[in-house]
Every structure is written in structure tokens, then in C-alpha cells.
Structure 1
Amino acid sequence: MRNQVHLLALLLVVALFLSGCAVAASPAPDQPLPELLIQASEYAYDVPDRIEAGLTTVALENEGELAHHAQLARLPEGMTPEAWLGLMQENPPAAIQAVTYVGGPGLLDPGLRQEVVLDLLPGTHLVVSFVFDAEGVPYLAKGMVKPFEVVAPSTAAKVQPIESNGTVELLDFSFILPAGIGAGPQVWEVVNEAQEIHEIMVLKLADGKNLHDVMAFLQTPNGEAPYVNLGGFQAITPGESSWLKLDLEPGEYVVTCYVPGAETGDPHFAMGMIQSFTVK
């Protein structure tokens, strides 16, 4: 009888142990974010034809010899890429206003890579370049645009939450940057609190250069730029937000916005949307 009691007690302990193991093993680990890799060169994008909706790391690798960015835009339902390109030729302001700007990696010098995180919604999207060459010809006119589809996710995946080191507010026409920006990898949440479309480009200044040198070069771009284009976050529609990934070295930086004003057509940096900051 005593042995039976001992056996029952042992079985109870084993059952409880196995039950505890089952409970501990039940939560599914967070999955890493899927990646949409965009490779840019003169004058084309290499990008997958489709990707599932949801939080996505969008990476730009500049494999060309010129600076490139990757502006993502979602077409309205029922509009094809061909229809948008036709509208762009006939009525550029109407084409610009027809799409929803969802951001993307900013202007990046050759050989560099930059990442942002976007919450992509289903629909037809474009990766498009609004950069101009030295003669004033847009890269878009040279064929630098590529459509892709964002489709509904096949399964409900649990992804890791986005943890940011600070928030960037885009205003008409200024920035509010995170306080005390330090060196190293970091994530900034980018929020467009303005009435117009805005972006934030990050420039690493050359030794001895300052904000006045940047302004002078932007107004008259002759010679070597007094900065390196580190990327940034492309234009985003008012009221939207996403995340910008950076890895900053100590030094002097400038952030700016190249988007043309809705009324004047002047670039936003000429309207005051340019600012310096120091990384220690």
C-alpha cells in the first residue's frame, strides 16, 4: 500500500512537471520582420513583384554611381501604373496628388544601404525616383519607376514590436528632432504632423563644413558636396507615421526636406525646413 502511495505521488509530480513544461512552451516567439529589398542603379530599381502586407523592413542598396532614393507610393484603387504614368505626362500636379506617399529609404550615396520600417497596406504600389540629373531631367523620365503588389498576408504572424529611441515630428516647415541624439544604431519614429507632404533627409557634414555650406551648395550645386547622403525617410502623407533606422557616428549633421511646396513649388528647405544637429 505504501509503495502504491509513493507511486501515485511520483506520477502526480511528473504530471505537474509535464503540464508546467507545456504551459511554458506555448507562447510563440516573435518573428523577425519580413524584408523588401530594393536595389537601385542608373536608372532602374530591382524589387520583388509582390510582398505580403504588414510591418516590413524596406531596405535600399545603392549599387549605382549616383545618389538614389526609393519613394514608395500606393496607387488609388482602380488606377494602374500605366494610367499613373500617363497622368504624370499630361498633368504632373494631378499625378502627384493622386497617390498616397508611404515613405521609403531616403537619398543615399553609392555603395551605402539604409533601412526603414513601413506598415504596408494591400494595393498596387510604385517605387519611384523624383531625383533630377544635372540637366534637370528627372530619373523618372529615364524609366526609374517599378510597380509591385502588396497582398493580404497568408497567415497571421506575430512580429516583434517596433521600439524607437525617439520621435521626429515633421511640421510646416520645420523638424522637431529627438533630444540628445547619441552615436550608434537607433530607430526614430517619423510622424507627419503637418498639412503638406514631408520627408527627412540625413546629411553627414564633411570636416569643417556647416549648415551655411549646405545651403550654398543646395542653391548652387557646383563642385563636391560638403556632405554625405546617409539616407533618411522619403515623403509621407500628412497624418501618417513609420520608422527610420540610422547608425550615426559622432560628428555634425543636417536634416532637410526636398519636397516642393504645394503653393510655391519652392523646395521646403528654402522655406526653413533644414536644421543642424550634433552627435556625440
Structure 2
Amino acid sequence: MKRLFTLVVISLLFALVAPAAAQEATPEVSESLLAGLGYAELHIKAGDDNVEMPDQINAGRTLIVYENVGQESMHPLMLRLPDDLTVEQALADVGPEAMEPPAWFLDADFPGFVGETLPGHTSFAGVDLVAGPHLVLHDSAIHLDVVAADATPVPVQEPAVDGTVSMFEMGYEFPETIDSGRQVWEVTNVGEVPHELLLVRSVVPATAEQIIALFSSEDENATPVGGGPSFADVDPVGGVGW
């Protein structure tokens, strides 16, 4: 499994398990902290019944701008198909009749993507795309052709980052402290299998132990022993997909 390098824009209102007074308004696309660095943009506008996006983009460092204009939370991902798999076969394998991931799924490359995005919000991620056929997976699969650029590649401008995260099997390495506010994090998968990072906040007071107990529960309606939040009290604030 190739290493995943992703720059992700997140908005932290308070500490991850502390109460927050209000949800920060989603910034406009032009206000992305990664804007102005010369990255090509892949703009995706996702609704409940349709997804608008280009069918082709050049390879290289790319700013993904994912806008959720629907009424439901979106949790998409993107993958590059194995070299010996056709687009037609891949689309058939992940079609609406599919009941489980196809056998080739973990042989695909996952360049990184935005994390879960709430209705009315826009998420950003900077990823390195390699030429080849890709799929963006929502409720349906959409083919994206990443092509090698004809021009000489422009040196990539690296942004200043506010924190770094390493993902690996059964664990993460996180910054020791996290400030509130919009930030750019560098996320690297140093493990052998795909991983994702989802940052959440509780809208009610909660301890780390209560959050861990909640996410360890098999009941979506569970409330940790001794009080604490339910899943209805937990909102995603950023992250990076596979």
C-alpha cells in the first residue's frame, strides 16, 4: 500500500470533546486556506440525487473542493483503479446491486479525499493525484479520468501547516495540543492498509472516556453510562477520507 499524503482544511471550534457555542459558517470556496497556492481545483457539488463534477483533471497536487448542497450528510471516498481493471468492470462491480466490496477493492490506491461533510458545508483537501482512472464513490460511483499534464510540472508550493497526523494500524499520532479555529493539517498514512481520519465535536459537555464509550457501542441510540452525548450530539468538523 502506497503512503498517503493529504493536506486537509479543518475547522475546530473548541477542544474536540468540549461544548461549542455555535457552528461556524462554512467558508466560501475562495476563502480556502489552501487557495492561492496554484493547485488545480477539483470542484464537486453533491446533492441528495445528483453529483456535479468534471470527468477529467490533470495529475498533480490538487485542491478538492467538496460542496454538500443536499439535505443529508455525505461521506464519499476516491480511489485509483488497479492497472489491470477496466473502468466498465469496476463500475459494474460497485453498482447498485453490489452487496459487498469487490475482491479488487483493497488493491486500489486511495490518494485521500475530504472527510464527512454536513449539509450546507464545504470541505477542502489537497491531495497528490497520479494519472489513471479513478472512481469517486457516493451512493453511486462516478468515473474521473486523471491524465498526465502535457506541460512541464510546476514546482509544488507547500503550505504552512498547523499540525501533522500519522495514521497507521490501530492508532494515530496527533498533535499534543489543538487550538480552536480553521487550520491546515498534514495527514500521512504510514501503515499498510487504508485509513481515514474523522474529527468530531460534542455539542454537550463530554469527557474523553464518554466519547470512547459512545463510539464503542453497537447501538446508535446509546448514551454512555453516567451521562454524556449521544450520536445526535456529535458533529464532524473535518478530516480526511481513504
Same fold (TM over 0.5): yes
2:108 to 77, 99, 115: 99
2:38 to 26, 32, 35: 32
Between structures 1 and 2, the one with greater helix share = 1
The answer to whether 1:56 aligns with 2:65 is: no
Give how far 1:31 is off: 5.5
> 1: CA distance between counterparts of 2:99 and 2:235?
35
The answer to whether 1:227 aligns with 2:234 is: yes
For the Cα contact (< 8 Å) 1:39–1:62, is it kept in 2?
yes
For the Cα contact (< 8 Å) 2:166–2:188, is it kept in 1?
yes
Give how far 1:215 is off: 4.3
User: Unaligned regions of 5+ residues in structure 1, if any?
Assistant: 1-29, 130-138, 236-280
> 2: CA distance between counterparts of 1:224 and 1:197?
25
% identical aligned pairs:
30
Distance 1:91 1:206, change over 3 A: closer
State which structure, 1 or 2, has the greater radius of gyration over its C-alpha atoms.
1
- Aligned counterpart, 1:75: 81
Give the structure, 1 or 2, with the largest relative contact order (CA under 8 Å, sep 6 or more): 2
Tell me the C-alpha RMSD between the 2 structures: 2.3
What are the residue-to-residue correspondences of 1:74-223 with 2, within 5 Å? 74-88=80-94, 89=98, 92-129=101-138, 139=139, 144-156=140-152, 157-211=154-208, 212-213=210-211, 215-216=213-214, 219-222=218-221
> 1: CA distance between counterparts of 2:83 and 2:159?
29
User: Partner of 1:168: helix, strand, or coil?
Assistant: strand
> 2: CA distance between counterparts of 1:158 and 1:69?
31
User: Unaligned regions of 5+ residues in structure 2, if any?
Assistant: 1-35, 222-229
State the 4+ residue runs in structure 1 displaced beyond 6 angstroms: none
Letter matched to residue 231 of structure 1 = G
TM-score normalised by L of structure 1: 0.62
Give how far 1:92 is off: 2.6
User: Partner of 2:214: helix, strand, or coil?
Assistant: helix
Number of aligned residues:
193
Distance 1:184 1:224, change over 3 A: closer
User: Partner of 1:82: helix, strand, or coil?
Assistant: helix
> 2: CA distance between counterparts of 1:81 and 1:215?
41
The answer to whether 1:42 aligns with 2:48 is: yes
> 1: CA distance between counterparts of 2:71 and 2:99?
31
> 2: CA distance between counterparts of 1:57 and 1:97?
24
> 2: CA distance between counterparts of 1:110 and 1:163?
29
